[in-house]
Amino acid sequence: MTKATSANAPAAGAPETDAQDTAQAGLVTPVMRALKLLRYVADGGSTANLSDVGRRIGVNRVTVMRLVETLQYEGVLEPLPHGGHRLGLGFLTLAASALAGEDHLATARRVLTRVTSETGLSSYLTVLDGAQVRYLLCETPALPLVSNIRAGSRVTAHLTAPGRSLLAHLGTERRRALLGPEPLAAATAQSARTYAALDAQLARDREAGCAWSQDGFEAGIDACAAAVLDAHGRPLAALSVAGPRALVGTDSVTRERTARVVKSGAVDLAVLLADAPAFLAAAERA
């Protein structure tokens, strides 16, 4: 992190924060600073040391102090007994009111739209349905359709990247109960036919935080998926992207960027779909 040069001066990293903000025509810099502070607090950051907060979000200490005072006055932040702040009831009720007025799947689609925009790939929301995954939502870029997967499609779970990302967060006995006896179903030569092979594959998926598939279900189609987990680490759904290898890319930098977007989208969906019963009820109606 860069250090502030003085209490009233912008942080040394200002070229990528305040200076950059003001260069964006039409953007309101104080609002952007307030949102940076709110994201910092929402992610668990402490406001006990305002100088440290300023260094972390690229805003000078005096501005941070004024932001905290203003947001606290408006009920968006509230002080903690032993120092620092948390999101206030004013913010939480505003967010709750906004979510209450939206259908869970409509809210989820907004995340898929963003993921497709950032990756240029088709994005999908799936849920586990017995031994299969069911595709609830699909967002596609303005490209010729390359996959046979549509909203409503059902595929044996362990044959797809989203299915593997969900199975990776189930216990061994649950997986076996769902998938049945060996040999396991296969779609390509890469498909795991034994539980030993599948368990090893799922262990790698868990470690990576996402599941990659190369020609795993459809020839020429690569996919990346991450599980959407509830507060107890149980899989609610999976977010995935898929596309032809030429578009997905084969270099590590491109794939890491794609995986980062997918994992970030899964985290956002975990927050938006936190009301699991309502989400699952919406999924049943889809």
pLDDT recorded at residue 14: 41
At residue 44, the pLDDT reads 87
Domain boundary among the residues 40, 72, 98 is at 98
Calpha distance 74→99 (Å, rounded): 20
**Residues 198 and 86 grouped into a single domain:** no
Show the CA angle centred on residue 152, arms to residues 149 and 154, nearest 5°.
70
What pLDDT, on a 0 to 100 scale, did the predictor assign at position 254? 92
Q: What is the pLDDT of residue 278?
A: 61
Boundary (domain end) residue, out of 98, 127, 145: 98
Give the residue numbers spanning the domain of 233. 102-285
Domain boundary among 74, 98, 122: 98
pLDDT at 186 over 70: yes
Q: Look at residues 55, 43, 39, 41 and name the one whose alpha carbon lies nearest to residue 84.
A: 41
Task: Tell me, yes or no, whether 142 and 271 share the same domain.
Answer: yes
CB 157 within 8 A of CB 178: yes
Number of domains forming the structure of the chain: 2
Query: Residue 1 has what pLDDT?
Result: 35
Give the tens place of pLDDT for each residue, 145-184.
566 678 888 999 999 999 999 999 999 999 999 999 999 9
224 occurs within a structural domain: yes
| 110 and 71 within one domain | no
As a whole number of angstroms, the distance between CA 13 and CA 211 comes to: 35
Q: Could you tell me if 38 and 70 lie in one domain?
A: yes
CATH number of the domain where residue 159 is located: 3.30.450.40
Report pLDDT for 223: 93
9 domain residue, yes or no: no
Same domain, yes or no: 119 and 48: no
- Confidence category of residue 11, pLDDT binned at 50, 70, 90: very low
CB neighbourhood size of 45 (10 A): 16
Give the pLDDT confidence score for residue 98 in this predicted structure: 64
6 lies in a domain? no
Residue 76: pLDDT above 50? yes
124 in the same domain as 52: no
Please check whether residue 107 lies inside any domain of the structure: yes
